Amino acid sequence: MATTDDGYMRFFPFEEPYDHQQEAMGTIYDALDEGRDVLFEGACGTGKTLASLVPALEHARETGKTVVITTNVHQQMRQFVEDARAITDQERLRAVVFRGKGSMCHIDVDYEECQALRDTTRDLVDVESDIAELEQREGELLSDGQAGSSEAMEARNAVVEELRDLQDEREEIETERSTCDHYYRNLTVDTSEFYSWLFDDVRTPDDVYEYAHQQGLCGYELLKEGMDGVDLVVCNYHHLLDPTIREQFFHWIGRDPEDIIAVFDEAHNVESAARDHARRTLTENTLDQALDELDGEDDARTDAAANVIETFRDALVEAYEDSFGFGEREAVDEHWDDVTIANDDRKDDLTLAFLQGYTGPGFHEELDRALELGRDLDARYQEAFKKGELDTRKECQTLQAAGFIADWLDETDDTGQYPVVSVRRDESTDDVYGRAELYTCIPEQVTRDLFEDLHAAVLMSATLRPFDVTENVVGVEDPVTMAYGAQFPEERRRTYAVDGPALFSSERDDPQTQQRIARTLEGIVRFTPGNTLVFCPSYSEAERYHDMTAVSATRYLDEPGTQARDLREAFTSGDDGVLYTSLWGTLGEGVSYDGDDARTVVVVGVPYPHLDDRMDAVQDAYDVAFGDDEAEAGWRYAVEIPTVRKTRQALGRVVRSPDDFGARILLDKRYTEAAEMEMHDYAVRGTFPPEERREMVDIGPEKLKFAMLNFYQDMDAYDGPPPKP
């Protein structure tokens, strides 16, 4: 351990930090002391996690706070556990690794059912506790009565009567209501041994599940009850980004938001994750189920609720049916596809269809009645499940439908909510049905309150720049910013910007362009002494070049819906393979290809995302929000910067340690320095950080194989004679 006056070094688990790591820890510690947020970009090898975690733990220890470190990448979750274990071997920590109930439940029930089971089980335990107390009291009074006390015998008679009532209540719960055996044991056995085991090390959710399963306990509930005042919690994004879950989560920790220091890993993903957590949807099926639910209700509010829900349901059908052109309905498959309903000069088509189709005293009034009825029905279902009248906790479809419709009709253009209608085909019935969605364009509307409420947050990533964009997009005010580039020896990596075809969407289907790309890829694979990763703009183009390239290497194709983990293991098990995938898939970030796992990575084209109505809406929202500060803010914020971040993430899949080496290839002339002058409006090189631009070597496709040959020979990478150009 380093000898230093910095108190936080007691949490540093290794001999000495890197110089830049020491500097980063000092900067973060000072920022936390001032209650300021931190934006921290660090390339692979900069030790971002420990540089953030160590000063955060020290500040939390000094001020009675809790550190929450969160990620949306499973591999990083495992790394956090390893780091926390290394720290706690040196400086004792009470750490909890938390995961959602669904993955830890022993009886596989949803949240509402679980809540009802817990309530009933607690009722049973309370009744049994009262019975035990009364039985003891009855015994004492009997002894006194037998000793001659008439008052004791009268009191005993009253206790016996109360005891009979409680015994009847216990029998009613046991025979007619649903309880959870695992949670029952939580409440009735000594769980101190569990907590001794839990805090003796840093336990994963799988560890907790197995331990609890062996003991017949509910590990999820034990974790919740043991989190109060812990030093460190490792969790997923949704525990912080979902406002409802966040409130409960902080309650379990026993901390107010201002007593939380949050560390966000892979923080460039906060933008999209916030959108996902904010989106709200309502399917046509749920609307039909709500109407079926209302059909059997004898309530004065039923007609009003049915009228407004049926009108919205009919409007949804009208909106998507009217959007279909010739043959489009028949082409709908099992995936959700958006249809256009937005209008520039008036309300969206779904809202217009609803307003035109509605007849009644007023939809706001009828929605209020629908919501009241829905809440009453939901309470009735809850009580019926608790009493054992229902095997499962029934969801109130009326409440779900009415709540969404109220939100849809209340939203206005300046809320950043974009109305979307999607359609898909039900594989079991072959019917097409629709879904309405409120899509959040600007994540800052979701995350700003979070960052304002926390004591401070550290947002870290290898691709967080430009910092000003991150500040605006997620709503971080006046953060401390710092960036550290690649720390590994520069001579052991090459980054080539290839002056190949510019893969504009209009040219991707050109056979000559495809042939030039395929031939260049063949040369790259041939001169790579090991595995090659090829990232394409989409899965369809990955399939195209997988089929078009003639190579001796084993070819692997990543396809949507396949198990990426199995594919990666197959690819890395050999030493002469080429894997084709989409940059927007799951293999472009959060997955390391260390050493021989991959030697060369290629990004084909500038892989902009599919530009659909949603993306147009996001661009428009950013233009409105930030257009006064810079021209084309919508394109830059919504498209160009996320694409370059994805590209940088893909390039970072190789060269993962000081001894590692590899080539990173950008196959499109828009990455070249010449493009800045010749096609300035389309060039993207300037969006990369300065130190990364300096490493880019512009090269023609015909010279690339010679450059690769020389580089890999310098690395002594070929097992035998190198390939001939």
pLDDT, tens only, 177-202: 888 999 999 999 999 999 999 999 99
Other CB atoms within 10 Å distance of the CB of residue 500: 26
Pick the range with the lowest mean pLDDT from 88-102, 257-271, 399-413, 665-679.
399-413
- Reduced to 3 states, what is the DSSP secondary structure of residue 494? strand
Is the per-residue pLDDT at 716 higher than 80? Answer: yes
* The pLDDT of residue 725: 82
The burial of 694, by beta-carbon neighbours within 10 Å (0-12 exposed, 13-18 middle, 19 or more buried), is given as exposed
- Half-sphere exposure of residue 258: CA atoms within 13 angstroms, side-chain side: 2
Phi, psi of 200 (to 5 degrees): -75, -15
Is the per-residue pLDDT at 160 higher than 70? Answer: yes
Q: Which of 60-74, 148-162, 305-319, 599-613 has the highest mean pLDDT?
A: 305-319
Question: How far is the C-alpha of 448 from the C-alpha of 650, rounded, in Å?
Answer: 29
- Reduced to 3 states, what is the DSSP secondary structure of residue 108? coil
* The pLDDT of residue 5: 54
Tokens coding 276: 């996902």
Is the per-residue pLDDT at 453 higher than 50? Answer: yes
For residue 114, the one-letter residue type is C
* The pLDDT of residue 3: 38
* 369 band by pLDDT with thresholds 50, 70 and 90: very high
Tokens coding 166: 């409680």
Is the per-residue pLDDT at 101 higher than 90? Answer: no
Is the per-residue pLDDT at 223 higher than 90? Answer: yes
Burial 218-251 (b: 16+ CB within 10 A, else e): bbbbbbbebbeebbbbbbbbbbbbbeebbeebbe
DSSP state of 543: H
* 430 band by pLDDT with thresholds 50, 70 and 90: very high
**Residue 436 near residue 317 (C-beta atoms within 8 A):** no
Element (H, E) at 438: strand 432-440
Give the pLDDT mean for 25-46.
95
* 4 band by pLDDT with thresholds 50, 70 and 90: very low
- Which bin fits 148, alpha (ψ -120 to 50), beta or left (φ > 0)? left
Give the pLDDT mean for 496-517.
93
Burial 465-476 (b: 16+ CB within 10 A, else e): bbbebbbbbbbb
Is the per-residue pLDDT at 414 higher than 60? Answer: no
* The pLDDT of residue 150: 84
* The pLDDT of residue 1: 37
Is the per-residue pLDDT at 412 higher than 60? Answer: no
* The pLDDT of residue 54: 96
Element (H, E) at 339: strand 337-339
State the pTM of this model.
Answer: 0.89
**Residue 180 near residue 118 (C-beta atoms within 8 A):** yes
- Which bin fits 259, alpha (ψ -120 to 50), beta or left (φ > 0)? alpha
Give the pLDDT mean for 490-495.
96
**Residue 591 near residue 568 (C-beta atoms within 8 A):** yes
* The pLDDT of residue 516: 96
Question: How far is the C-alpha of 415 from the C-alpha of 624, rounded, in Å?
Answer: 12
For residue 119, the one-letter residue type is D
Tokens coding 181: 């055996």
Give the pLDDT mean for 663-667.
98
**Average pLDDT in the chain:** 92
Residue ranges of alpha helices (H) inside 147-218 are 150-176, 181-188, 192-198, 205-215
* 301 band by pLDDT with thresholds 50, 70 and 90: very high
**Residue 421 near residue 352 (C-beta atoms within 8 A):** no
Please report, rounded to a whole number, the percentage of residues in the chain having pLDDT higher than 90: 74
Which pairing describes strands 232-236 and 66-71: parallel, antiparallel, or unpaired? parallel
For residue 720, the one-letter residue type is G
Question: How far is the C-alpha of 158 from the C-alpha of 177, rounded, in Å?
Answer: 28
For residues 263 and 245, which has the higher predicted lDDT (pLDDT)?
263
Give the pLDDT mean for 380-403.
85
